Structures are given as structure tokens and as C-alpha cells.
Amino acid sequence: MVILISIIVILHIPFTEIDKAHDDVICASLIGSGSMAFIRVNDIVTHFSAKGPARAPAIVFVNSIGADFRIWDAVAPAFSESMYVICYDKRGHGLSDTGSGPFSIDQYVDDLLGLLSSLDVARASVVGLSIGGMIAQRLAARAPEKIAALLLCDTAAKIGTHDMWAARIAAVGQKGMEPIADGILERWFTKAYRETRKAELTGWRNMLVRTPVQGYVGACSAIRDADLSAGAAAIKAPTLCVVGDEDGATPPDLVRAAASTIKGARFSIVERAGHLPCIEQPSVLVQLIKDHLQEARIV
């Protein structure tokens, strides 16, 4: 009887197609986890989540390299009552397709523009972390009419050196993600977090090492080849630059310097956080975003 009931329950899990803008948006309802959705954008199928009132002001969260949109799980829901909240996995990460190279920041921007168009979003506030912040900067320079406000988190116009990224690309290409994982986690998280949150750290490590090699290497090459300094002057949207005080990937001085090149940009340091304040200090980041959106009169 228990088995029969279980089969009946499984058979009644809904699987529906959403025809909001395109026929190829697919949403599968999942027990206990809301929903996950997929849409074909350009040459790939993109995994995304869209929650909140569809006609409310939109906000989109853009991930760092080696991460999927679960890094926003403690941040994004804080905005879903009054905003249309979009999270997505960029190409080569999470459940999204990898697609074909060569990878570039402009290619990632094209993907984001395609996703926003498919969701009928004409304008959005963009929260971008690390490479996600580079994508946000480039989008703001290319299509300023699409940006209501920017929050650039642990990012800069130029991150790292050509040789540094070339070495990482070679290492991952030869031996995969596993050998570089622990060093990355040291830059992502504070020592206190690594020592006291070992179970969570293991989970984030699993996320990192399961990133497809082609997707990770592609993102490395995009960062290696990108210098967005010339476009900083073109950014007109209200901008807040945020960084963890113990960020080992994009240190506070680097992010402060980036903020100084964007007209009117403000700068804030999140204490007791590394490269991912959205994980270590989510409530602080939520408040910074809310204050910035209110000051920009978005909400």
C-alpha cells in the first residue's frame, strides 16, 4: 500500500511548459524545493530561477567563477516580495550548458541579455560577484538603458594577470578541478569560516570541483582577456561596490580602486567575509543592497 501511494504521488508531480516569452521555457516542479527552470538562450540551455511579482522591478544575481546560483540562497529570497528576482547559472556552470568557445565577457553579457529578453525584463538592477561583477560592468557599458542600479561585489575592471590565469588554465586542463580547490577555498572564505563551518565548506568545495572543466577554463580565459577600465566612465547607473575585508581573490584595495573609476560609485567593506560575502555575511549584504536600491529609488 505504501509503495502504491508513493507511485501515485510521483505520477502527480506536475511538469509544465511556461509560454511567457518563448515556447522552450520548461519548468519542473520539485518536492520541497520550489521549481527549477530551463530556457534556450543563444546556443545554450540556461538554468535559472525567477520568483516574485513578474511586473515588479527586476533584480538579477550573477555568480562568481566556479559557482552556481546556490551561492545566493541566503540573499535572493529577501527581495522576492517586492521585486522580480532572477538567478541563473552562466554558461559552463551549474546546470546550464557549456556551449562553444571562445568564451568572453561579451558572450556572457549576450547570454544575460537573452535571458532578460526571454523573461520580458526590459530593465533590472544587477548584483554581480567576481566575474559576475565584470559581466554587470560590461552590460552597463554596452546597454545602459537595461540597468536600473549596480551592486558590484568583490570584483574589478581587471582581475589578476595574464600569466596567473594562463597558469590556472593549464593546471585545470591537465589535472582537473580537484588540485586547485583548496587554494581557491582559502581565497573564498575567511579562516574562521573554514575552521568552524567544515560541513558547509565541504558542500561548497563539492560545488566547485563539479564545475565542468571546459566551463571553468572558459571563464578563466574570459577574465584573463578582459580589461573593462575604458568602459568605467560609460557606467551611469547608481553603483555600490562591496568587498569582504578578508577577500583573497579581489582584495579591498583593488575593489576600492575600481569604485573610484565609476562616477558617483560608493564603496563598502563587509567585515568577517572573504570573496563570497553572500555566503559568510548574507544579512549584511542584503541590507547593503536594500539601502542602495532605496537610495536609487528603485524600491
Give the strand order in the sheet containing 147-153. Answer: 15-18, 25-29, 35-41, 44-51, 84-88, 58-62, 124-129, 147-153, 239-244, 266-270
Q: What pLDDT, on the 0 to 100 scale, is given for residue 161?
A: 97
Q: What pLDDT, on the 0 to 100 scale, is given for residue 101?
A: 83
Q: Distance between CA atoms of 111 and 214, rounded to whole angstroms?
A: 17
Q: Distance between CA atoms of 90 and 108, rounded to whole angstroms?
A: 7
> Which triple of cell numbers denotes residue 237?
547607473
Predicted structure pTM score: 0.90
Q: Are strands 35-41 and 44-51 parallel, antiparallel or unpaired?
A: antiparallel
Mean pLDDT by 10 residues, the chain (299 residues): 38 35 40 65 97 98 98 98 98 97 96 98 99 98 97 98 98 98 98 98 99 98 98 95 98 98 98 99 99 96
Residue 37 near residue 50 (C-beta atoms within 8 A): yes
Q: What pLDDT, on the 0 to 100 scale, is given for residue 43?
A: 94
Q: What pLDDT, on the 0 to 100 scale, is given for residue 133?
A: 99
CATH class of the region 41-295: alpha beta
Q: Distance between CA atoms of 50 and 60, rounded to whole angstroms?
A: 9
